[in-house]
Structure 1
Amino acid sequence: MRKLPAILFFTLSTFAGVAQEPLIRQADDQYGAFSFKTAQDIYQKVLDKGFASAEVLQKLGNTYYFNADYPEAAGIYERLLAEYPDQAGPEYYFRYAQSLKSLGDPGRSARAMEQYFEQTGRSVESAYQGEKGAMEYLAEIKQHSGGYRLEAFGHNTRYLDFAPSFFGEELLFSSDRDTGNLARYRHTWNARDFMDIYRVPSDTAGKSEVSKLDGVNSRWHESTTALSPDGQTLYFTRNNYRKGKIITDEEGVVRLKIYQATLKDGVWSEIRELPINSDAYSVAHPALSPDGKTLYFASDMPGTLGQSDIFRVALREDGGFGKPENLGPKVNSAARETFPYVSSDGVLYFASDGIYSLGGLDVFAVKLAQLPFRGRVLNLGAPVNSPMDDFTFILDGQTRKGYFASNREGGLGGDDIYAVTELQPLPFECVQEISGTVRDKITNEVLAGATVQVIDEENQQVFSAVTDAEGTYTLTLDCDRGNFVRASRQGYVPAEEFLYPSDGKPRIIDFYLEPESVLAGYGDDLAKLLQLSTIYFDFDRYEIRPDAEVELQKVIAAMEKYPSLKVKANSHTDSRGPDAYNLWLSQKRAEATVDYMVSKGIAPERLQWEGYGETRLINACDDGVRCSAEEHERNRRSEFIIFE
């Protein structure tokens, strides 16, 4: 990328004749005007002198970042984040991470991105779990309702029938139909009735014969299954028992474990428990990713956010297992998340009673590719969800047909299986419309032909628009993730705003671009041209404050760079106090400003000063007018007017 010229420069009439004559003649016509450039070198010089602030580091870092000078940008951003972490928004962690990535430092880049996601993710969680009211949740659920058609499943009984699972051309499910025990507490992890795994052809009419799955059932509980893509490995849930005896934890609770069976010569055998199991907590309800390389499950293991959470673990090619990973607060709450299932198109379905629901356990869905820090967790709405418990939802990603279980009214038993057909896809993508106007920051004129880009968290442009003759633009973005909206135009410094994930309501964002160069002449305010912060004074004081010292260093740096520049410091007071005293105080402030600059090496003949007291107020806070301290402070200021 071509680097922009240095931040502040002057074109003097003595340089005429070198392709600058038209500009110089124009400048001469305007009292020998100077041409200012947004000053990268000014900020750098201020920093080199030891005068740092969050604003200086932000602006200096941005000048390097937007010009693809990533080594310099990384160093400045690193200092910003170390010295002023409370004043650095998430966008600076992102830019720091991208700069490090460009330098071939993926380790530190990843850590910076973790901090970026921590900031944005925490805001997302707060907005999703805490700020919405019940009516907003119910309205959102209503929007998603009607997306499925329910059909009867002819193999239900008056007992417990639940946990459907695809098994090639067949269907597996769990039932206690042999026991006659109608225990209603199968969702707690010390379930009381004994269940087995059954198989049946995938029909809903109930004409096929149901049979037990050979090789995996025991005298204890078996339920919730997941078949590997090659059909050779079956994962299932079973009570914790060893050598024919039930094992309990320290509290006497029989925990659940996931077991693995291998198909040998048409028989399920070689059953072994997974190494992620424990006698101290439950690991249950397996689900596999479409490629069979990741196992999802529910557990109350250490690190759980609520009563039970959804976890995942990598299945290594050598048959080993990785370290279990909690799916985080986008999925898991302070209550129960359980019964995960992953469709072939990468959607995680799970049951929860911790996210606002229609009642009891509801079925939710989220795109796995968008986790852990973004993505819409959607309630499937009615008729899948009801005021009762709805769970163990599965869906074929191709046919869009599936099954789930519920204990809703109208069923045959405690739990019943229902067949479903998806009628319309869930609105996983959150689309937000952004519009606004791009203007010149100094003249306020609209800028036609400016480019406005949406840049995602991978630093990729995903949308762009060009402003029309009125300087306006409209574009859309994915509001489930953090985005940068950047406006740019030739001859101007880009401006950028970071947008947190949101609810998708339209937003208006106006941009004011700083020109790369502006003409300045006699009588212009150098502070405005350099975009300086106002130099304020404390009430009834004329000493230079530390924050003002940083701004004065920018003026000093400009004057050092351009020896012909001469300025006049004008100081002002607020209206409080006698007029004569205020005039004296403003003169002392102007004198203190000039004395400070002289003490830093600026020749006295290049400086003038004058105090105006309260004669040039910039607001209505005159004598007898009630104003706030902040409003009065705006009048206690200094200006830097070019006089030669």
Structure 2
Amino acid sequence: MKPIYRLFTFFLLSGTTLIAQERALDRADSQYERYSFKLAQDIYQKVFDRGYMDAEMLKKLGNTYYFNAEYTQAAQVYDSLISRFSGDAEAEYYFRFAQALKSLGEEGRASDMMAEFARKSRSLTDARVQKYEAREDYLASIEANSGRGSLDTFYFNSSYSDFAPAFGPDSSLIFSSDRDTGNLARYRHTWNARDFLDLYRVDSLTRKGSTVTKVDGVNSRYHESTSALSADGNTLYFTRNNLVENKRASDNEGVVRLKIYRALKVDGAWASIEELPFNDDSYSVAHPALSPDGKVLYFASDMTGGRGQSDLWRVQIREDGTFSSPENLGPKINTEARETFPFVSADNVLYFASDGHPGLGGLDIFATKIEYLPYGGKVQNVGRPVNSEMDDFTFIISDSLGYFASNRPGGMGDDDIYAFRQQQALEFDCIQKITGTVRDRFSNEPLSGTTIRVIDEENNEVSSSITNADGEYEILVDCNRGNFIRATRDQYIPSEEFLEPSDGKPRIVDFYLEPENVLAGLGDDLAKLLQLSTIYFDFDRYNIRPDAEIEIQKVIAAMEKYPSLKIKANSHTDSRGPDAYNLWLSQKRAEATVNYMISKGISADRLNGEGFGETRLINACDDGVSCTEAEHQLNRRSEFIIQD
């Protein structure tokens, strides 16, 4: 897959005693740093063949083969590096050696190199190390997904590189190729000494005699590749070399990066070509893909904030044609290696190529449900025959017909496009995000430190989470089956809710936990714990008002729920009237409250009442102070104090 890596120059790539050899290596290093891998490779190889080598030269020589998918040569050079200079070989070179060996079918040695990679890796968070340590039987998983379809011949390949298929209008297909440029002078790229890429179109995949023609209006002297067409056929996103005033522009290190451009159809022709605003001269942005509704653009980039050599990202496309800030697709998708060439199918399955997830060798095609990102969802290797020991990439599918590219043996050129007829779709985990808040039922205060557990229908604990300082939690469930969401906290009665199997859309499940023993709040006003409205009385009256009756019923319900609960009803008056009269009136209000509760079935030995007159005013409405009626009423109240 030679052109693919020259299209994605994101990699952070890492003398001899004779003067001639030193000068040769200096020239090679200069070419290498400019990603002119083919020129550098020729020099390094000649020096290597003459018996001169050191660790740095072997790393660079191996990389020139590895990033051009020449895995046989890469394995030979990495073998020399590790056998002769193991102390100078970083963990990454064991990973690349393992990938090259897998492409050659040497699974045993590849496994040994992965074990050494895991041992030497300094990053315990490296997803590749984590997957290896988990000892997943990934080969069995790949085989389980294999055989779901068959390959068909694609009649429009050439002896050059053909890849990056994209669906066009009216059963047409757009793809990238370095076949005839249409120029007398053929421009060659020094990454691998091949011609620059252009976008081509097959007018109809179903009509015999269809011809391959260039896509008018978007091709330049340099690279154009990996395109995505809007559903209405009027907007084309594509990858191109960084051009300024129709000339290649490089970054501070002399590297020409990649950018995504957008072309609009005007009077039947592509025009108004502009680069997207999140491009940058200091990193590459490439390989666009659109969501089914056309509102999200997915792409690959090595921009700051990524996890690996290239990550998958997305932006929202606003109604006015502007874009949101890029969002990384997260660690479920992205590893420390290469994730690239995204495609989203009509049923919201994200397909992409990666050599960081466990595969058969080189780049493999993987898939996951897009709606589960970035929180969960299993990433699946799509299996054979799409994947092979070589590089497999740029997968697209509509209904049951798909296309992808591969550099596997037996093709016409370096890369060939293959048609794939799917007989059985992949089965995906259904991952649902559940969020919510846990609060005290009486005080409504958020309960931090509450444990949230997912319990399956066989009563097995599947996962758990802890609420944060605001009582909030987030947890994932398997929505293909029923689950209990259970909230537990010390000194509170557990609560749970059963969730039926669902379509996986996010849900909010809030919990209101009741204390195990309300007596833990001795001396507290139960009305506050129960969030009751204040029990008010009319002026110079002690009868129970209808609005107060509703609130007292809530106190009665709490006492019925907690048989050991005892309550003292404290009643109060406002400041108007003689002190002695107010004390008598408040006592009558307390007795009226208690008698009402006894009449509703609460035992008298659990109740008592006391009047406090105007001795406990809650505002400044004292004797002689002018206050409104509403302000005076605030003092005509009853409280329910928890007793021992």
Larger Rg: 2
What is the TM-score when the length of structure 2 is the normalising length?
A: 0.48
What is the TM-score when the length of structure 1 is the normalising length?
A: 0.48
